Chains A and B, each alone.
Chain A
Amino acid sequence: MTKKIYKDNELAGLRTGGIIKQKQKDYFILRTRIPGGHLKADLLKKYSTIAKKYGRDYVHVSTRQGIEIPWIHIKNIPKLLKDLKKLNILKGACGPRSRNLIACPGMSVCRFGFVDTEQLAGKLDSVAFGKEVPKKFKVAITGCLNSCAKPQENDLGFQAQGEPEVDLSKCIGCTLCAKVCEKVCLRGKRKPAIIMDENKRPIYRKKNCFFEGDCIRVCPVNAWKTKMVGFAVYIGGKVGRFPKFGVKIADFVKESQIPKIIRNTIRCYNRIAKKGERFGEALERQDLEKIKEEIL
């Protein structure tokens, strides 16, 4: 039996496919990806099979909605890769490439969500995942202002927003919309977007609105409805050693524009960043207005 199966450059090639060297000699971690965190129960069983067969009977659930299986011995890697293909388990990314696209549960189950973020993440996987970049590139999609998928902490983040409108003929004057609105706007340090007139009719002031939809949810007679759904776009967020919040560059971007925005942002990142630099760091040297034009 030969002692060394892979040369260093071959191992580097493996890294792109989500096989990461463990600190222990000859052991590797398999990193997989689950776009949007949506995992069929049948596929979950297959993960179990792999962890039992190649690992040590456990998995690590990553912060990026992937499942990692540690303790893969170097000699088993070729066989493992064949099994993954057969089982349709998607490999994750490491090194200077874009990462798994994450999402919150979205509107299919969440009362706050404006968009089916899980499904959208699945559709965008081919656009956002595994692209060559200077350091790494993370995309997140979240269904509402609550930001569960943390769009502001990713290199590119999409946050769904809903513009409300009221049908005064249905309104019963209960004032609950103004009540929930005042609460949101107080926390967001704005004047309320909904105030009641002297006849207990709501007046909507769009410029103060956070588009979180609390008025729509609370309205007992569905007088408040969603007029328009779109996405706020954040760029340049990161955590890591030196965290930085993303900046908002647009409101109410249409879902159909998202693939183009992802492609433009990756291209822009490759253009402006030095090797090893994150998008947010490179953005510090740029004119944000010009970057907006390039991306949107």
Chain B
Amino acid sequence: MNRIKGNQYINLKGVPCPLNFVKTKLKLETMGTGEVLEVELDDGEPITNVTASVKEEGHQILKVEKADEYWKLLIKKQ
């Protein structure tokens, strides 16, 4: 399997909307173009809201993956 590794990682499990998106956005701002951020998010609104918002901000989403009770999101900074 070709596993994509993130250059950076944040655990946002238990962080509610919209704070989870804000934290994702702030993290992305510290990163360079083309770098990959791995985010862990709760099931339900967090994963759907953050995915939609990150896309609207113009970043590329490489992977969305369910792992047990949470989700993993791989974002390539644009």
**Complex contacts, A220 vs chain B, CB 8 Å:** 51, 55, 61, 64, 73
Chain A residues in 8 Å Cβ range of B64: 172, 174, 176, 220
Say whether B48 contacts A179, CB under 8 Å.
yes
Quick check: is A239 within 8 A (CB to CB) of the other chain? no
Within 8 A of A (CB), among B32-71: 47-48, 51-52, 55-56, 61, 63-66
Find out whether the CB atom of B48 lies under 8 angstroms from the CB atom of A111. no
Q: A218 within 8 Å of B by Cβ?
A: yes
Q: Which residues of chain A (165-222) have a CB below 8 Å from chain B? A: 172, 174-176, 179-180, 217-222
Q: Is the CB of A180 within 8 A of B63?
A: no
Cβ of A176 and Cβ of B63 under 8 Å apart? no
Q: How many residues of A contact B (CB 8 A)?
A: 13
Report B-chain residues with C-beta under 8 Å of the C-beta of A218: 48, 51-52
CB-CB < 8 A to A176: which residues of B?
47-48, 51, 64
Within 8 A of B (CB), among A88-129: 111
Bound-state Cα–Cα, A174 to B43, Å: 13
Q: Which residues of A contact B73 (CB under 8 A)?
A: 220
Decide if A180 touches B56 in the complex (CB within 8 Å): no
Q: Are A175 and B56 in contact, with the CB atoms below 8 A?
A: no
Once the chains are docked, how many angstroms separate the CA of A221 from the CA of B47?
15
CA distance A174 to B51 in the complex (A): 11
Residues of chain A contacted by B66 (CB below 8 angstroms)? 175
Q: Which residues of B contact A217 (CB under 8 A)?
A: 52
| Least Cβ–Cβ distance between A149 and chain B, in angstroms | 23
CB-nearest residue of chain B to A217: B52
Inter-subunit contact A172/B63 (CB<8 Å): yes
Q: Closest CB-CB distance, B23 to chain A, in whole Å?
A: 18
Q: Would you list which residues of chain A between 156 and 172 have a CB under 8 Å from chain B?
A: 172
Shortest distance in angstroms between A172's beta carbon and chain B's nearest beta carbon?
7
The complex places the Cα of A179 from the Cα of B47 at a distance, in Å, of 10
Given the complex of chains A and B, what is the CA–CA distance between A200 and B64 in angstroms?
13
* Residue in chain A with minimal CB distance to B51: A220
Q: Chain A residues near B65 (CB, 8 Å)?
A: 174
What CA separation (Å) do A175 and B65 show in the bound complex? 9
Minimum C-beta distance from B12 to chain A (A): 16
Closest chain A CB from B18 CB (angstroms) = 13
The one of B51, B56, B61, B63 that contacts A111, using a Cβ cutoff of 8 Å: B56
**Nearest A residue (CB) for B54:** A220
Q: Which residues of B contact A172 (CB under 8 A)?
A: 63-64
Q: Which residues of B contact A174 (CB under 8 A)?
A: 63-65
Task: Supply 26 A–B pairs (Cβ within 8 Å), ascending by A.
Answer: A111-B52, A111-B56, A172-B63, A172-B64, A174-B63, A174-B64, A174-B65, A175-B66, A176-B47, A176-B48, A176-B51, A176-B64, A179-B47, A179-B48, A180-B48, A217-B52, A218-B48, A218-B51, A218-B52, A219-B55, A220-B51, A220-B55, A220-B64, A220-B73, A221-B61, A222-B55
Residues of A within 8 A of B (CB): 111, 172, 174-176, 179-180, 217-222
- Nearest 5 CB-CB pairings of A with B: A220-B61, A174-B64, A217-B52, A218-B52, A218-B48
Q: A175-B66, A179-B48 are in contact. List 7 more A-B contacts (CB 8 A).
A: A111-B56, A172-B63, A172-B64, A176-B47, A176-B64, A218-B48, A220-B64
